[in-house]
A and B are shown apart, each in its own frame.
Chain A
Amino acid sequence: QQQVKQSPQSLIVQKGGISIINCAYENTAFDYFPWYQQFPGKGPALLIAIRPDVSEKKEGRFTISFNKSAKQFSLHIMDSQPGDSATYFCAASRGDKIIFGKGTRLHILP
């Protein structure tokens, strides 16, 4: 059972464009929704996270939009840069165990 569904699997965006990655979850008990960024050969690193009591959270060029009724959330990367090229994972948790989506491989064209 895939509790967190992520799309697209891969994404190519022009430099300066907006990258959008979507996730959907099933378990309404989840109360923490982080996004992780992973570069090749590295471990995932926490990028930004949100709790379901807010609909949006912004940190620099990164924004999470959260729709509790639809059980969906998304990551927007504004003014995408080549250095943003990485794999992005959405995730959800309640308590200690985090469930990850399958990841989106993002490539920003220079």
Chain B
Amino acid sequence: NAGVMQNPRHLVRRRGQEARLRCSPMKGHSHVYWYRQLPEEGLKFMVYLQKENIIDESGMPKERFSAEFPKEGPSILRIQQVVRGDSAAYFCASSPRGGYTFGSGTRLTVV
């Protein structure tokens, strides 16, 4: 039973490019959460999705960021026109309901 799979593990983008981060939840988990982690900061909630629905996006920046969890395939966190301040570790977690299991994260570096 594979855990939460995130890819890529490391992603380097130039300013202005797009970043796509993927998350495959654990088998049987229908809830996906995205968090961002900056050095010396905790995990900041970004968005909570269920299949084909965004349940809570209160932590998402209003511009350039979007997330989806389609009926088939992984959840995608998309960052358009990346800036240096987007450099961070992005973690995805999944759950049947509560009791998160986290992936190993994607470390985004914007150069």
| A-contacting 9-mer, from B14-22, B63-71, B80-88, B94-102 | B94-102
Least distance between A68 CB and chain B CB atoms (Å)? 19
B98 engages A41 (CB within 8 Å): no
Most buried by B among A45, A99, A100: A100
User: Is B25 in contact with chain A by the CB < 8 A criterion?
Assistant: no
In the assembled complex, which residues on chain B have CB atoms less than 8 Å from the CB atom of A103? 41-42
B43 surroundings in chain A (CB, below 8 A): 44, 89, 100
Which residues of A have CB within 8 Å of B100?
Answer: 34, 46, 98
Q: Is the CB of A43 within 8 A of B103?
A: yes
- Roughly how many angstroms separate A34 CA and B98 CA in the complex, as a whole number? 10
A89 with B42: in contact, given A43-B102, A97-B33, A98-B100 (CB under 8 Å)?
A: yes
Interface size class of chain B, counting residues whose CB lies under 8 Å from the partner chain: 20 to 34
Contact of A42 with B by CB under 8 A: yes
A96 within 8 Å of B by Cβ? yes
- Cβ–Cβ contact A97 & B45, under 8 A: yes
Q: Are A96 and B102 in contact (CB under 8 A)?
A: no
Q: Which residues from chain B contact A97 at a C-beta distance below 8 Å?
A: 33, 45, 48, 56
**Alpha-carbon distance between A102 and B42 when the two chains are bound, in angstroms:** 4
CB contacts (< 8 Å) of B40 on chain A: these are: 9, 102
A62 at interface (Cβ–Cβ under 8 A)?
no
Known A96-B48, A96-B98: A101·B42 in contact at CB below 8 Å:
yes
